[in-house]
Amino acid sequence: MGSSSSILLTKEEIQNIANDTGFAPNQIKRLYNRFTTLDKDTKGYLDRQDLLKIPELHVNPLCERIIEVLVDDHGRDGKLNFKQFAAVFSTFRRGKVEQNDLNSKQNKLKFLFGIYDRDKDNKINKSELLSILKMLVGSNIPEDQMNSIAERTITELDENGDLVITFEEFCETLQKIDVDEKMSMKFLT
C-alpha cells in the first residue's frame, strides 16, 4: 500500500485485506474512505489527533484509553496505517467466526481486556482498575469510595487470591454476556 492515503487501493491490496480481515471488498472501500477522511493531511496513517476527531469516540469517557490501545497495541510508533485500521475494526465484525478469526469472542475480549491492562502483564491490578473507574466517573465519586469499589471488584473476580484479575478470570466473569452482540458493529456493504 502506498505511503499516501490519497493513493487508491489496488484490487490486489483490497483482496489481501479482505483475506486478512473477513471484510467484503465493498466494506474495505468504505473503511478506506473513512480512513482517508480522518487522514486530512494525507500522511498515510492516523495518529492520536486524527482519532480524536471521530465524534462517536470523542464523547466516550474512555476515549483516551481506547485511542491508546488503537495506536500503541495495534499500530506502530503511535501511527495506525490502513491495514492496521482495517484489522482492528475487523475485530468488531458481526457474524459467524472460526477460532482464529479476528472477530472471535476471544479477540473481542482481548481488546476489552487491553483497555484495562496497560502494563501488558496479562493481569488487571487495582491501580489499572482505578484508572478506568476515574475515567468513567471522574470526580463524581470520592477517592475512598472508588478504592473500595476497586478492591471489592478484584476480590469478587479474583479466583486464586493473588489480588489481580487474569485474562481467564476476566473471561469467566463475562461468559454469560453475549460479547458478539455487545462488541460488534454493522458494516455496510
Q: What is the pLDDT of residues 40-51, one digit of tens each?
A: 999 999 999 999
Mean pLDDT, rounded, of the chain: 89
Homologous superfamily of 11-90 in CATH? EF-hand (1.10.238.10)
- pLDDT > 60? residue 189: no
pLDDT value of position 6: 43
> How many Cα atoms are found within 13 Å in the side-chain-facing hemisphere of 82?
29
pLDDT value of position 10: 93
Percentage of the chain exceeding pLDDT 70: 92
- pLDDT > 90? residue 139: no
Q: What is the pLDDT of residues 37-90, one digit of tens each?
A: 999 999 999 999 999 988 888 889 999 999 999 999 999 999 999 999 999 999
Do 105-179 and 11-90 fall under one CATH topology?
yes
> What's phi and psi for 118, nearest 5 deg?
-80, -20
- Stretch 108-120: mean pLDDT: 94
d(CA 64, CA 16): 31
Name the more confident of 1 and 79. Answer: 79
Ranges of each domain in the chain: 11-90, 105-179
pLDDT value of position 7: 54
At 168, is the secondary structure helix, strand, or coil? helix
Q: How confident is the model at residue 5 (pLDDT cuts 50, 70, 90)?
A: very low
Homologous superfamily of 105-179 in CATH? EF-hand (1.10.238.10)
d(CA 42, CA 81): 11
Name the pTM for this structure.
0.83
